[in-house]
């Protein structure tokens, strides 16, 4: 976790308000023509059920979607972010203006199903490395404009966040090394600006490069696409001097073996870029109120 992240209730609310405003503008445009068929004075109640077991995530975005259209809407959550729901369990109930609930429904569910998918997938990876030193870490492979929402979802699933973007940490990769003239040279150039970054990490592809990085003072090393034998040897060579992270081609099937090598972190792009939406369903009661 880096110090750049702030997922306080207030920060989440602000983030969700911004994300939802863009989403509603995209969906509603000049007005919801179908919801206009409903009596504007009518009130309604609805329940949202999960159709499958999942780690719930996205309550701030759901709240923002309904309350941007009806500030008096009331939501009652039965399963909070980070907790697992069962299939067919009611996750939350909402009451408010019928038109507003109908218009906000798809936006609210889009965020809920997508962020819950990220959290649920992360939880599956986290469960497989239980009992090892390894942390499951996300990447910058996120949907444009929704990075912070997805990184919050990774947290809800028990994962750890990598850097937010290019501005808060230094991650030196193959092309940076080549452009700077070598591992020792690029780490030397990073030293004067290291205090501005949450961390400095360098990527290596061979055990020889790992040794060079450690000799040059590296304190965080990304081991890229190494096989199990190389990873075990890398852990031995490192001897606790630097934080070791694995990346590249990580799958659920091979995850436990990677974690058992003794590395500290396993970064996985698929947590945020290859997810299957969780199935949620909103069921409305009959509208109430309005002219008789």
197-233 pLDDT per residue, tens: 999 999 999 999 999 999 999 999 999 989 999 999 9
* Mean pLDDT rounded to a whole number for the chain: 95
> What is the DSSP code string of 22-70?
HHHHHHHTT--TTGGGS-TT-EEEEEEEESS-EE---HHHHHHHHHHH-
Domains of the chain, residue spans:
9-125+276-284, 131-273
Interior CA angle at 273 toward 270 and 277, to 5°?
100
Set 27, 52, 224, 279: catalytic member: 224
Which one is catalytic: 203, 209, 245, 264? 203
Report pLDDT digits (tens) over 272-286.
999 999 999 999 986
Tell me which CATH code domain 131-273 carries: 3.20.20.70
- The single residue of 45, 141, 256, 273 carrying the catalytic annotation is 141
Give catalytic status of residue 52 as yes or no: no
What is the β-pairing status of strands 54-55 and 84-85? antiparallel
Catalytic annotation, pick one of 173, 189, 256, 273: 173
- Does residue 191 carry a pLDDT above 70? yes
Check if 151 is active-site: no
The CATH superfamily holding the domain 9-125+276-284 is Quinolinate phosphoribosyl transferase, N-terminal domain (3.90.1170.20)
From CA 73, how far away is CA 94, in angstroms rounded?
7
What span, in angstroms and rounded, lies between the C-alpha atoms of 13 and 119?
Answer: 18
pLDDT at 248: 86
pLDDT at 292 over 90: no
Annotated active-site residue in 45, 84, 106, 232:
106
Question: What is the rounded CA–CA span in Å between residue 249 and residue 269?
Answer: 9
Q: Catalytic site residue 106?
A: yes
- Catalytic status, residue 215: no
Q: Which residue in 22, 259, 5 sits closest to 153, CA to CA?
A: 5
- Tell me the pairing of strands 90-97 and 170-172: unpaired
Confidence category of residue 249, pLDDT binned at 50, 70, 90: confident
CA 233 – CA 207 distance, rounded (Å): 8
Q: Would you say the pTM of this structure is higher than 0.85?
A: yes
173 is catalytic: yes
């Amino acid at each position: 976790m880096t110090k750049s992240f702030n997922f306080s209730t207030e920060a989440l609310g602000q983030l969700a308000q911004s994300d939802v405003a863009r989403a509603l503008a995209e969906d509603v445009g000049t007005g919801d023509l179908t919801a206009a068929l409903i009596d504007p004075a009518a009130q309604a109640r609805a329940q949202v059920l999960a159709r499958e077991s999942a780690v719930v995530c996205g309550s701030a975005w759901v709240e923002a979607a309904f309350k941007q259209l009806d500030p008096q809407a009331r939501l009652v959550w039965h399963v909070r972010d980070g907790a697992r729901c069962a299939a067919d369990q009611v996750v939350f109930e909402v009451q408010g203006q019928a038109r507003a609930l109908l218009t906000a429904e798809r936006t609210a569910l889009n965020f809920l199903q997508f962020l819950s998918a990220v959290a649920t997938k992360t939880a599956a990876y986290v469960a497989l490395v239980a009992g090892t030193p390894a942390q499951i870490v996300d990447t910058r492979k996120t949907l444009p404009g929704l990075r912070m929402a997805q990184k919050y979802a990774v947290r809800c699933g028990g994962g750890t966040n990598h850097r937010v973007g290019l501005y808060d940490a230094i991650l030196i990769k193959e092309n940076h090394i080549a452009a700077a003239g070598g591992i020792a040279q690029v780490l030397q150039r990073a030293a004067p600006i290291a205090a501005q970054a949450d961390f400095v990490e360098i990527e290596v592809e061979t055990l020889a490069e790992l040794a060079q990085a450690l000799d040059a003072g590296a304190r965080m090393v990304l081991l890229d696409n190494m096989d199990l034998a190389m990873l075990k040897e890398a852990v031995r060579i490192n001897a606790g001097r630097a934080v070791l992270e694995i990346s590249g081609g990580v799958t659920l099937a091979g995850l436990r073996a990677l974690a058992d090598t003794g590395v500290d972190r396993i970064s996985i792009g698929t947590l945020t870029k290859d997810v299957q939406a969780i199935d949620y369903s909103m069921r409305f009661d009959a509208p109430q109120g309005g002219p008789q």
